[in-house]
Chains A and B, each alone.
Chain A
Amino acid sequence: MEKVGIVGYNQVKLYSDANYGRYEMIFEAVRGAIDKAGLKKKDITTVVSCTNDYYDGRTISNCFTVDVGGSYLTDESKVEMDGAHAVLYGLMRVLSGNHKLAVVWGGSMASCFPYHSARLYETDPTWERPLAYVNDITSAGFQMRAYMEKYGVSVDDIAKVSVKNRKNAAKNPLALEEAQNANITVKDILESEIYADPVTELMVAQPCDGIAALLLAPEKQALKITDNPVWITGVGYSQDTYYLGDRDLSTCKSMENAGKMAFKTAGIKNPKEEIDVAEFFEAYAHEELIFAEALGFADKGKGASIESEINGNLPINPSGGAIGGNPPCATGIIRIIEAAKQLTGEANGYQVKGVKKAIASGQIGMCAQNNILYVLEGSN
């Protein structure tokens, strides 16, 4: 795969109930990204948006965002998955050689829709949906139990992930205020209310309001726009089967496949050695460990042994990850932006030292059914 450069990005601050209109927020994100890159509207050749009809409460959710999203008389499309998948489509459009500058934006306002109901609409309507026993809440419980039971992982290890991410989020000014907590302890996490046993409320990435935008350009074009682009050198994505009863929830097959494809594309032989920082879309604390294991950073069941603090061996989610704020459809883009920030040295306050290669992931579906992984490299 040829390199594609990230030449600009912008994310609005995450709020649980933002004092923003939807269009205003989209405009702020997109305009901000274009301004950051020092470009104009006419430089945009393609726009890929990421919204979801059931999150926005309207069919054709990209219909009215043409003006504010920068796609006026521009080659436009919409991906209805996670934001990271929209970046994939933007990447494909750039790689095809048809486009010089792709704007990818995505996000939604979780304060405006019944999140769990919208997730319930994902389930099999002929079998599971009428009774709603399978939903995003219960599936999280099943996943964590399967992981703990199979490998004998202690609940403390999982709570530690949430502690780390919430402490990291406190250093990230754009993270969700409710998730920022510099003084949180494992005890606080375990004593918070039960979400779906064994998952507790504070292990969950809380849905919130937010939009993020990203600019992609082919190699030569990227170097014209900025001296310091971040390169996407590898991508992999994969989808697991649907029924929870068919899957081994203690691991993540789709992340494994995505990792294989991404590392192969980027020419990474030994991810454990080569990757300096990881930004995962962990919808729940245990998913961070499952993902790290699926990618081979630790043996199965030993994910908690990774030194994932900011100054650790392999820092994971120095920005606070999805636990630091999870705006549906934007989280994946934000992960890529945060990984890019680490590579350019812009992660003020939570910068990891000496980052050369980073990974970022996005996911969708119950128990992370579909995963996508990016490998990013800095320009120096």
Chain B
Amino acid sequence: MSKRTQRKSLDYVKKDYVKTRTMPGNWYLSSYTYKFNLTHMQPFLKKLKEKKLVGLKCPGCNRVFFPPRLVCGQCLIKPNQWVDLRETGEVASFTIAYLKDPGTGKVQEKPMVLIRQDGADTVYMVELNPEVDYKDTYIGMPVKVHWSEDLKGSLADIEYYDLVEDNARDLDLHKE
């Protein structure tokens, strides 16, 4: 992350310490595996292939998880009710990443968004339509799923989110 961004730090009162030698050490995460149970994801992925969105509803607290979740923490039970969701959603939070293009060295601004699907009670990280200007991003921005041309029954079926034209947008005085 940091290597690709431009750095500039402020000066401060520094003190130098004796430099001693170092001994090397490594943490090979590549020797690790991570085991996950993805059984509960399957109906969701199957529906994605049909261009349909479903969330998993917890019978205890009625929260709808999108994408589905193994266990509802609040009730400590496995949610089991599938509910249909609409294709629209809204930007719940965003930030802008400043990335140096490795080729040109030019800094590019990219909005990173968390989207809450309408009807769901969780947010998740997705990409916005690359044509959306980062300056236009704001909290509460309505968005809609843009399906991938090649549906495979995977998360990549949602290629990105399109902006939904919203007349109220210009009235939002406090957009960042």
Which of A's residues lie within 8 Å of B, judged by CB?
18, 20-24, 27, 30-31, 34, 41, 54, 57, 66-68, 70-73, 109, 111-114, 117, 121, 125-127, 129-130
- A20 to B35 Cα, complex, angstroms: 7
B14-33 contact mask (Cβ, 8 Å, vs A): 1 or 0: 00000000011101110111
**Shortest distance from the beta carbon of A229 to any chain B beta carbon, whole Å:** 22
B132 on interface, CB distance cutoff 8 Å: no
- A-B contacts counted at CB < 8 A amount to 74
Contact residues in B for A27 (Cβ distance below 8 Å): 70-71, 76, 78
Structural contact, A23 and B70, CB atoms closer than 8 A: yes
Q: CB-nearest residue of chain A relative to B73?
A: A67
B71 pairs with A23, CB closer than 8 A = yes
B12 at the interface (CB under 8 A from A): no
What is the minimal beta-carbon distance from B157 to any residue of chain A, in angstroms? Answer: 23
List, in ascending order, chain B residues with CB within 8 A of A71's CB.
73
Q: Is the CB of A114 within 8 A of B73?
A: no
- Give the Cβ gap from B29 to chain A, nearest Cβ, in Å: 6
The CA-CA distance from A57 to B30 in the complex, in Å, is: 9
Contact yes or no, A125 B35, CB < 8 A: no
Beyond the given A72-B76, A73-B74, A111-B33, could you list 19 further A-B residue pairs with CB under 8 A, ordered by the A residue number? A20-B35, A20-B37, A21-B35, A21-B37, A24-B70, A31-B77, A41-B76, A57-B29, A57-B33, A66-B73, A68-B71, A70-B73, A72-B74, A112-B35, A113-B31, A114-B32, A126-B23, A130-B24, A130-B25
Per the bound structure, the CA–CA distance linking A21 and B38 in Å amounts to: 8
Query: Quick one: given A21-B37, A67-B69, A67-B71, are A112 and B32 in contact (CB under 8 Å)?
Result: yes
B24 engages A67 (CB within 8 Å): no
Q: Within the assembled complex, what's the spacing in Å between the Cα atoms of A73 and B74? A: 8
Instruction: For the complex formed, measure the closest distance between the CB of B146 and the CB atoms of chain A, giving whole angstroms.
Output: 29
Within 8 A of A (CB), among B88-143: none
CB contact under 8 A between A24 and B76, given known A57-B32, A113-B32: no
Q: Which residues of B contact A57 (CB under 8 A)?
A: 29, 32-34
Taking CB atoms, residues of chain B closer than 8 Å to A31 are 76-77
> B75 interface residue, CB < 8 Å from A?
yes
Q: Tell me the bound Cα distance from A21 to B35 in angstroms.
A: 5
Chain B residue at smallest Cβ distance from A114: B31
Q: Which residues of B contact A67 (CB under 8 A)?
A: 69, 71-73
**Counting chain B CB atoms within 10 Å of each CB, which of A21, A30, A111 scores highest?**
A21
Query: Is A72's CB under 8 angstroms from B73's CB?
Result: yes
Q: What 5 A-B pairs are tightest by C-beta distance, nearest first? A: A67-B73, A21-B37, A72-B73, A57-B32, A41-B76
Select which of B27, B29, B34 is within 8 A of A22 by beta carbon.
Answer: B34
B52 to chain A, nearest CB (A): 26
- List residues of chain A with CB within 8 A of the CB of B76: 27, 30-31, 34, 41, 70, 72
Q: How far apart are A115's CB and chain B's nearest CB, in angstroms?
A: 10
Report the minimum CB–CB distance from B152 to chain A (whole Å): 22
Q: Which residues of B contact A22 (CB under 8 A)?
A: 34-36
Do the beta carbons of A117 and B28 come within 8 Å of each other? yes
Bound complex: CA of A72 vs CA of B29, how far in Å?
28
B28 touches A54 (CB 8 A): no
The CA of A67 and the CA of B92, in the complex, are separated in Å by 22
Known A20-B35, A112-B33; contact A129-B70, beta-carbon cutoff 8 A = no
